[in-house]
Amino acid sequence: MSEENQSCSLPSNAEPTATRSTVPMWIIVVTLVLVFIGFVFFDRHSGWFDAKVYAPYGSVEKVEAYQPGTGPNPMIVGKKNYEMFCASCHGSDGAGKVGQAPPLAGSELVITKGFHRLAMIPLEGLTGPIKVKGQEWNLIMAPMGAALPDADLAAVLTYIRNSWGNKAGEITADDIKTIRAEIGAHPVPIVGDKLMAMPE
Ligand code: HEC
């Protein structure tokens, strides 16, 4: 470095000193206020640090409102009721029992498009010749499901429609209610031919 440059960078007669000026009080206050506001904002927008809450939800209530319905699972309720009211004849495996009851697994009376025909069977009972998987049966089934509440019978039917390889739509309590109203107070086992003539 040249001498000329050195002399230029210093004020004429002052010693260079290092000083510390105090931070003004208002900056400290403003900083604290901003930090506080930041925390509040962060807390609010992440549900007050509840482990269940992530953005974009702001509270546990909002998260819960987005959960799927927490009603009873029809496959669980249905299985329980099926074992109690149907399995003694149709078998826990839905395969039916020779001379006692036809199979539900793979049955065209179970895997229907609509609920009408199927809901009729446990509500009204069934008698007379019917064909299940190509085999004819001519027995009688009492209205085994008539005493069950709508939601429970709906769950049984949803269960048999979606077990043992069966795959078909859910049946709802409202569907059962509709058919129950159609049948009225005195169910008489419906004859196979008449059932098959009904809408699916
Ligand atoms: C006491 C024995 C018995 C019980 C219990 C019973 N069923 Fe049946 N079920 C039968 C018989 C017998 C038939 C065939 C009737 C005929 O030949 O017309 C039948 C037929 C059926 C059919 C139509 C045919 C088929 O295999 O797809 C369905 C569906 C059915 N039952 C569902 C049920 C459901 C659901 C329950 C329970 C709520 C139930 N059954 C309880 C004896 C029974």
Average pLDDT value for residue range 135-160: 96
Nearest residue to 123 via CA among 103, 102, 94, 147: 147
In this structure, how many other beta carbons lie within 10 angstroms of the beta carbon of residue 108?
14
- 99: alpha, beta or left, given left = phi > 0 and alpha = psi -120 to 50? left
Q: Which of 40-44, 62-66, 121-125, 146-150 has the lowest mean pLDDT?
A: 62-66
* pLDDT over threshold 80, residue 177: yes
Report CA(158)–ligand 1 centroid distance (Å). Answer: 15
Q: Say which residue the tokens 């069977």 belong to.
A: 121
* pLDDT over threshold 70, residue 133: yes
Backbone angles phi, psi at 106, to 5 degrees: 75, 5
Tell me the two tokens of residue 193: 């031919």
Report CA(36)–ligand 1 centroid distance (Å). Answer: 69
Tell me the two tokens of residue 137: 């049966």
* pLDDT over threshold 60, residue 164: yes
| Closest C-alpha to ligand 1, atom 12 | 101
pLDDT digits (tens, 9 = 90+) for 25-55: 999 999 999 999 998 888 777 767 777 777 7
| Closest C-alpha to ligand 1, atom 28 | 121
pLDDT band at 8 (very low <50, low <70, confident <90, very high): low
| Closest C-alpha to ligand 1, atom 36 | 86
- Spatial distance between the Cα atoms of 14 and 12, rounded to a whole number of angstroms: 6
